[in-house]
Amino acid sequence: MDVAALDRLLAERAAHVPLVMLTVTNNSGGGQPVSLANIRAVRDVCDRYGKPLFLDACRFAENAWFIKTGEAGYAGVPVAAIVREMAALADGMTMSAKKDPLANIGGWLALNDDSLAGQCRTLEILTEGFPTYGGLAGRDLEAIAQGLTECTDHDYLRYRVRSIAYLGEALESAGVPVVVPFGGHAVFIDARAMLAHLDPLRYPGQALACALYEEGGVRACEIGTVMFGLRPDGTEAPAAMDLVRLAVPRRTYTQSHLDYVIEVVTRVADRTGELPGMRIVYQPRQLRHFTARFAPLR
């Protein structure tokens, strides 16, 4: 997080900020990790303004791996210990268990404030179920518990991160513009650079994602102007970047699968100048990137 910018924001608008949330790793910015030094600096700013710090910790284990391999002083520290150090700096954490914890459903909210936790438990009973199951089957709860242990395994994380790097290095070598360094869960293609003939308001990220699916059944996700370009007043502006995320499921793909993805992406890259922009034919008022429908501009 830009600590100086956070300080300026809280100095001007602290009354309008209920909490500060730090995403580890940063999914919308290319899957980049957050250092412990940065988490501590954000914690210091939050303390000065009396604001709680929460971690969006969907990929906490991969973030801890990057701290272990890239931050000074942590090479010999186990991943689980790094995770505990990250968590100790926060007042709360949210988690989608479908990410690092290897589960197929569910998630959790962790809080240091017992009073707030009690309010959340009451709301959970009203909306999801009793706290011991929270609307999930026992099998899913056990899967989450097991996944939280397995996802911090050294060998698992080393293989996982190296698989992503294999995909990214191959695309980079083929001339495909990708975000570097590579993250731990995905490779991000710079669609605005790859489809430079398209204005950002013609949604180059969505155009590329559709082309990848049509070419070879590769399902990708636009992270750009469709996701971030709609303003509260209904007008549009280009997002800072137009990326396409190639997220890799855990323990699913072999090297041959990744080689196939590389072939599909490079085939599309050879004809990017032919790809049309997209127009929106339906969008909801909020969170349009989940359910909007598109048609090509011809």
Query: Residue 262 and residue 167: Cα distance in Å, rounded?
Result: 7
Query: pTM for the whole thing?
Result: 0.89
Structure tokens at 139: 């099998």
Residue 234 and residue 66: Cα distance in Å, rounded? 39
The neighbouring-strand residues paired with 279 are: 295
User: Given this model, what pLDDT does residue 74 score?
Assistant: 97
Residues in the chain: 298
Q: Looking at residues 245-257, what average pLDDT do you find?
A: 92
- Does the pLDDT value for residue 130 go beyond 80? yes
pLDDT in tens, 187-215: 999 999 999 999 999 999 999 999 999 99
Contact 121, 131 (CB under 8 A): yes
Q: At residue 76, what are phi and psi to the nearest 5 degrees?
A: -95, 5
| Nearest residue to 185 (alpha-carbon basis) of 8, 34, 27 | 27
d(CA 252, CA 269): 25
Q: Are 167 and 188 in contact (CB under 8 A)?
A: no
Separation in Å, CA 280 to CA 70, 228, 245, 265, 294? 42, 14, 20, 24, 4
**Residue 135 pLDDT greater than 80, yes or no:** no
Q: Confirm if 63 and 86 have CB atoms less than 8 A apart.
A: yes
Confidence of residue 30 (pLDDT cuts 50, 70, 90): confident
Is pLDDT above 90 for 132? no
CA proximity to 32, closest of 2, 76, 73:
2
Between CA 251 and CA 292 the distance in angstroms is 30
Integer Cα distance of 226 and 247 in angstroms: 18
User: What pLDDT shows up at residue 177?
Assistant: 97
* pLDDT (tens digit per residue) in 42-96: 999 999 999 999 999 989 999 999 999 999 999 999 999 999 999 999 999 999 9
Q: Distance between CA atoms of 60 and 68, rounded to whole angstroms?
A: 12
Instruction: Answer yes or no: is pLDDT of 7 > 80.
Output: yes
Bridge partners, 107 (sequence order): 96
Q: How far apart are alpha carbons 219 and 209 in whole angstroms? A: 7
Mean pLDDT, the chain, rounded, equals 93
* Vertex 18 angle, CA 111 and 62, to 5°: 50
pLDDT tens digits for range 264-296: 999 999 999 999 999 999 999 889 999 999 999
Check pLDDT > 90 for residue 231.
no
Q: Which has the closest alpha carbon to 198: 221, 171, 226, 173?
A: 226
Domains and CATH numbers, the chain: 3-150 (3.40.640.10), 154-296 (3.90.1150.10)
